[in-house]
Structure 1
Amino acid sequence: MIDLRDTIANIKTHMTDGSARAMTYAALECRLAIERICYDRLARAHDYISHEEIRRWPPRHVIKVLEEDVDPHVASTYTISMARHPPAEGDDLSTLEYVPLGTQQGFDGRLITKLWNGLANTALHVSLPKSSAVQVEHFGDIKAIREKVEQALIEIERIASGTLTSTGIGPEVSFICDCGTRIKRRSELLSAGKVIHCINPHCTESFEVELAEKEITFVLRKVHATCTCRKIHHFPVKPLENMRVGEIRKFLCSCGDEIVFHCRIFYGTSKPGKMESTTG
């Protein structure tokens, strides 16, 4: 569980000071605390998802991706408990004595997004002047900043009262990437056609999910290119998808010829349902 005690103490110190500068720092600390809360849950989930699949950094987006791909309850409140004594075969599990291991404090993604944006709007931006008669102030309205900081602090303290952060519970499926990294996923969150990436940040491999009845298969995404010598080469898809327009990449075959990838823009004209012409 992320430790926010020092952050909370700093926020309260700034609030006691009460000056415009101190309140601005309090708002900044609150905003950073919200990011740390969300990113801490991401860090703990990175065994189940690659950085490539996050793509965007706003806290609410990060939590939404984790809910969809790693743990639907990543932002939920619940307590994990363990039976004091191992159950015997046939025992009614509801009658056993349980010892709580800890509680994860959840949060409303819409609320923390509202607080995160509100802190920036009231404290972390200089107001845009509407005319030459308006004086540009150093800081925002102290009363508005304090109100937003107080709202954020209540939520931050509540979340900080949790005693654990879970990476979720449920059946998993896993396989070994060619780079040697084990990739594992919650099987109930996988769908046919879903693209996943190796969690090794130095690996360029990606895979597509195939479902056949109850069997889950991960198919390597690659491009097959045939050299003039008829030798077939396989290239990972992800680096090619990340090429910029106009970029050229070359691969030297053992025969001495080159295989060239060139990223270009194409356009075409068409009638409904029929492509008439295409030009590069």
Structure 2
Amino acid sequence: MFAFNFNNTTMHIFYGKAALRDYLKSIKTSNSTIGFVPTMGALHQGHLALMQKSLLENENTVVSIFVNPTQFNNPEDLAKYPRTLQEDVKKLTALSPEIILYAPTVADIYDGQPLSQSFDFDGLENQMEGEFRPGHFNGVGTIVKRLFEIVEPTNAYFGEKDFQQLQIVKKMVAKTNLNVNIIGCPIFRESNNLAMSSRNERLSAPEREEAAIIYKTLTIAKEKFETNSAKSVAKWIQKSFEKNTHFTLEYFVIADEATLLPCVRKNKNKKYRAFIAVFINNIRLIDTISLN
């Protein structure tokens, strides 16, 4: 364990799972709850909002910072993913020195074998991100399951920007009978409505402003979906990005929120959501919006 002192406040930081488990056992009572926020660092206000919710709803809050190699299918993306642990610790301490930070090494998490477990998510893994990032959700399922087994949280908090991931985690918990409550939280956005993401740190200032087009496009798609088919809305999105030379559209999908299957014909009894992934200067950004 390491105690970080910042502005005369101290936060407990653990780099190994054994020490973290021992500490959590020492503070656990029969009635206490543990809130958990797993992150890959480069913390932004969206992350901090999840932590604030956990702090309000639990006696203890654990945050993990770990850039998980098994969920990256692109080695360049893994290499360039922002790593800002020192700054992250300052943000956490300023939010609450009572937060317990787990910042493990790859060896500590994977015991020297960074390999993914194979999961069956009942088809949720085959849509959108799963189609374009092979093996990604096996990596997500593997790391989240391991972190849950280490921390043993009562409640775990995830942002809805990664809505597909949220559904995947819920499915994994149900299938593996883990005793943890999964709580989805609203997307936090920058002043121009760009969804907050650690990858935003890689954007130049002009690129960050231009990326406002992503959410603007989603809001127009929502309006169009009220009177048009999913197929015609998708065609409009594709054409609008073909005219924009700064962005490359990877996918736009209108899908059933529960199954994540693409909408073929609208059903008034189903909830739909639009999902989008775009590249700007080889930096991949995703966003989503509820259509109901």
Query: Does the TM-score normalized on the shorter chain lie above 0.5?
Result: no
Compute the TM-score of the two structures, normalised by the length of structure 1: 0.22
Bigger-Rg structure (1/2):
1
